[in-house]
Amino acid sequence: MRKLLALFLIVVLVFPLTLATLTVISVSAWALDRNFYEDLLGDTRLYEVMLSEDLPNYFNRQLAREIDSDLPAAALGKALREVVTPEYMRDQALRIVDDTFDAIEGRDPTLDLTLDLKPLKAALAGEGGQRFARTLAAELPTCAAGQEPLTTTAQGTKIISCRPSNVSVDDAANLIALALPSFVDKVPDQISLNRNPVDLRDEMRGVPFWLVGAGGLSLAMAVMVVFSGSVWLAAALIGGYDKRERLLWLGWSLIAPAALVFLIGLAANSDFATGWVRFGLNEARLEGVEYSESLRLAMLDVSRSALNTIANGFLAAGAVSGAVALALIAWGWGTPPERRIAPAMATVAAPLAPQPPAQNPPSIGSTGTNA
């Protein structure tokens, strides 16, 4: 009966609790590590790809909302390279990471993720504007028959969206340069990435900020270790009669979650996980628009680095807990079983059979045969 109860506790409580605890330990090394995300987003090659197609498309959609602009994405992309550098995009990404962690860690409880356009506007207002206008004019397609070459904003500012066949590149560049200051004035200083700022003080009302970030994760991990460890020990004490059996119960009940966590680490660093990441990137949309193929491939390369870090956490947690489990099993096998002493049986004296009354021996001279 005790073994059945111990087995029930292991299946229902010990296994899921231990698996959850090992999982939290596995992700604790990177989940709230600012440097982990900064390393992932610090590769400028990712932004080189973004500048080719995705960023111009995004700028076009944003500017279309603000100033009714509609420039060809290919031409805009090459022109933006005159003022937008991969280093600028990298700095913006790292700033967003810092803002996110500052909000999580309570330094700035308001989470407002934005793309800062003020450096770009300053560049367009200076010498970068001339280079931008020249490149845009050279890359603009020739206007088709009946096509309107000018894009009109709500305030009347006009920028050439195609170049008429009778207009030279230099003349088109001059037209763009003349319209550019008024155009830039209509561009917002910032583009909001999360639409509305999020005040974590309202979202986490009544919860101390030290419980939201790494402090909360550490506390949760400590509570899970204590609770799952207590249930684990209790199941072994119930199932085992002596030290040997209890060690074996401890070892065998830990081996399954340890092995599963280790297998998760192997899977995270395999083509299986890469395939799922590729599927997720193919299904991902930015404001309803899918990413370009080149950006998806670049993000897949970045994700491989992330998966390697994630896999290492699971492999380490699984390997350490698995080694502990095997050590407990070996220790149990090497421990001689304790000799069990059977409980003493109470002896009941059997009732004595009635004895015949004692007879006195015949005495000499008593009645008998006379010699």
Say if residues 5 and 238 touch (Cβ distance below 8 Å): yes
Indicate if the pLDDT at residue 89 is higher than 70.
yes
Q: Which residue has the tokens 């059996």?
A: 245
| pLDDT tens per residue, range 230-267 | 999 999 999 988 899 999 999 999 999 999 999 999 99
Write the DSSP symbol of residue 357. Answer: P
Indicate if the pLDDT at residue 160 is higher than 60.
yes
Distance CA(171)–CA(164), nearest Å, equals 11
Is the Cα torsion angle 183, 186, 189, 191 positive or negative in sign?
A: negative
Indicate if the pLDDT at residue 25 is higher than 50.
yes
Q: What is the mean pLDDT of the chain?
A: 79
Choice among 41-50, 170-179, 190-199, 295-304 with the minimum mean pLDDT:
190-199
Q: Using alpha carbons, select from 38, 77, 31 the residue that is nearest to residue 55.
A: 77
Structural tokens at position 260: 């599963």
Choice among 49-53, 87-91, 177-181 with the minimum mean pLDDT:
49-53
| pLDDT tens per residue, range 113-126 | 888 888 888 888 88
DSSP letters, 195-224, are: SS-EEHHHHTTTS-GGGTSHHHHHHHHHHH
Distance CA(22)–CA(10), nearest Å, equals 16
Q: Tell me, what's the pLDDT at 115?
A: 82
Q: Tell me, what's the pLDDT at 175?
A: 84
Structural tokens at position 104: 């999580």
Distance CA(41)–CA(39), nearest Å, equals 6
Instruction: Enumerate the β-bridge partners of residue 192.
Output: 114
Indicate if the pLDDT at residue 289 is higher than 70.
no
Q: Tell me, what's the pLDDT at 191?
A: 76
Indicate if the pLDDT at residue 316 is higher than 50.
yes
Structural tokens at position 254: 């830990």
- Beta strand pairing call for 190-192 and 198-199: unpaired
Structural tokens at position 249: 């119960």
Distance CA(233)–CA(270), nearest Å, equals 35
| pLDDT tens per residue, range 52-72 | 777 777 766 665 555 555 677
Q: Tell me, what's the pLDDT at 371?
A: 38
Average pLDDT value for residue range 304-319:
91
| pLDDT tens per residue, range 295-306 | 788 888 888 888
Structural tokens at position 124: 């367009």
Indicate if the pLDDT at residue 159 is higher than 80.
no
Q: Tell me, what's the pLDDT at 364?
A: 47
Average pLDDT value for residue range 222-227:
92
**pLDDT bucket at 206, cuts 50 / 70 / 90:** low
